[in-house]
Amino acid sequence: MLRETWAEIEPGRIADNLRAIRGTLPAGVKLMAVVKANGYGHGDLETAEAARQAGADYLAVAFLEEALRLRAGGATLPILLLTPIRPEQVELALAQDLMLTVTGAEWFRELRRQVPSLAGRKLRVHVKADTGLGRIGFRTEAEWDALVPWLAAPDIDVDGFYTHFATAGQADTAYLERQARQFAALMERSKASGIAIRHYHCAGSVAALRFPGLALDMVRIGAAMYGFYPGHLAPPVELEPALSLHSTLMQAKRVRRGDYIGYDNAYRADADEWIGTVPIGYADGWSQRMQGAAALVRGQRAEIVGKISMDQLMLRLPGPCAPGDRVTLIGRQGGERVSFAELAAHIDGPSQAITTALTERVAKIYASAKEVRCPWNNAYFQPQRQEPTVI
Ligand SMILES: *Cc1c(COP(=O)(O)O)cnc(C)c1O
pLDDT surpassing 80 at residue 276: yes
- CB of 82 closer than 6 angstroms to any ligand 1 atom: yes
Q: Which residue CA neighbors atom 6 of ligand 1 most closely?
A: 222
Of 195, 225, 255, the domain-final residue: 225
Measure the CA–CA gap between 93 and 330, rounded to whole angstroms: 37
231-259, pLDDT tens digit by residue? 899 999 999 999 999 999 999 999 999 99
pLDDT digits (tens, 9 = 90+) for 45-76: 999 999 999 999 999 999 999 999 999 999 99
Q: State which of 22, 24, 34 you would mutate to test the pocket of ligand 1, scoring each by most atoms of that ligand within 8 A of its C-beta.
A: 34
Cα–Cα distance for residue pair 84/101, rounded to 1 Å:
5
Whether 267 and 341 share a structural domain: yes
Per-residue pLDDT averaged across 293-322, rounded? 97
Nearest ligand 1 atom to alpha carbon 220: 10
Residues annotated catalytic, as ranges: 36, 263
* Residue 295 C-alpha from the chain's centroid: 23
**pLDDT range class, residue 1, cuts 50, 70, 90:** low
pLDDT of residue 368: 63
User: Which contacts qualify for 152-156: CB closer than 8 Å, 24 or more apart?
Assistant: 152/194, 152/195, 155/118, 155/120, 155/121, 155/122, 155/123, 156/122, 156/123, 156/125
Task: Say if 238 falls within a structural domain.
Answer: no
Same domain for 158 and 267, yes or no, is no
What confidence tens digit (pLDDT) does each residue in 202-222 have? 999 999 999 999 999 999 999
Is 382's pLDDT higher than 90? no
Q: How far is the CA of 258 from the centre of ligand 1 (A)?
A: 48
Ligand 1 in reach of 239 Cβ (< 6 A)? no
If asked whether residues 203 and 269 sit together in one domain, one would say no
Q: Are 73 and 145 in a shared domain?
A: yes
- Answer yes or no: do 85 and 144 share one domain: yes
Q: Is residue 368 part of a domain?
A: no
> Has residue 297 got a pLDDT over 60?
yes
Same domain, 71 and 113: yes
CATH number, domain containing residue 278: 2.40.37.10
161/25 same-domain check: yes
If one counts the domains in the chain, the total is 2
Please classify residue 362 by burial: count the beta carbons closer than 10 Å to its beta carbon, then call 0-12 exposed, 13-18 middle and 19+ buried.
buried
Q: What's the CATH number where 29 sits?
A: 3.20.20.10
Nearest CA to ligand 1 atom 3: 204
pLDDT in tens, 8-43: 999 999 999 999 999 999 999 999 999 999 999 999
- Looking at the CA of residue 221, tell me the nearest atom of ligand 1: 9
Q: 52 lies in a domain?
A: yes
Which domain does 265 fall in, by range?
243-359
- 219 and 255 share one domain: no
The whole-number pLDDT of residue 385 equals 37
Q: Average pLDDT for residues 378-390, to the nearest whole number? A: 37
- For 106-115, how does the pLDDT look when each residue is reduced to its tens digit (9 = 90+)? 999 999 999 9
**Domain final residue, candidates 193, 225, 257:** 225
The CA 215 to ligand 1 mean position distance, Å, reads: 14
Q: Identify whether residues 255 and 207 lie together within a single domain.
A: no
Ligand 1: centre distance to CA 205 (Å):
7
Kindly state whether residue 231 falls inside one of the protein's structural domains: no
List beta partners, residue 301: 296
CA angle 211, 45, 89 (to 5 degrees): 85
Count of Cβ atoms closer than 10 Å to residue 114 Cβ: 12
pLDDT for 371 equals: 41
Q: Which of 310, 306, 315, 318 is nearest to 261 (CA)?
A: 306
- The answer as to whether 321 is a domain residue is yes
- For residue 367, the model assigns a pLDDT of 86
pTM, to two decimals: 0.93
Q: What is the DSSP string of 204-219?
A: -HHHHHH-GGG-TTEE
With a 6 Å cutoff on the Cβ, whether 343 touches ligand 1 is no
Q: What are phi and psi of 69, to 5 degrees?
A: -65, -40
45 lines ligand 1 (CB under 6 A): no
**Statement to judge: residues 131 and 92 lie in one domain:** yes
Residue 81 lies in a domain: yes
2 band by pLDDT with thresholds 50, 70 and 90: confident
Closest atom of ligand 1 to 224 CA is 9
The answer to whether residue 378 sits within a structural domain is no
**Residue 136 DSSP SS3:** coil
Position 373 pLDDT exceeds 60: no
CA of 30 to the centre of ligand 1 (A): 15
Residue 119, pLDDT above cutoff 70: yes
- Percentage of the chain with pLDDT > 70? 94
Residues 273 and 186 both lie in one domain? no
Residues 176, 130 share a domain: yes
391 domain-assigned: no
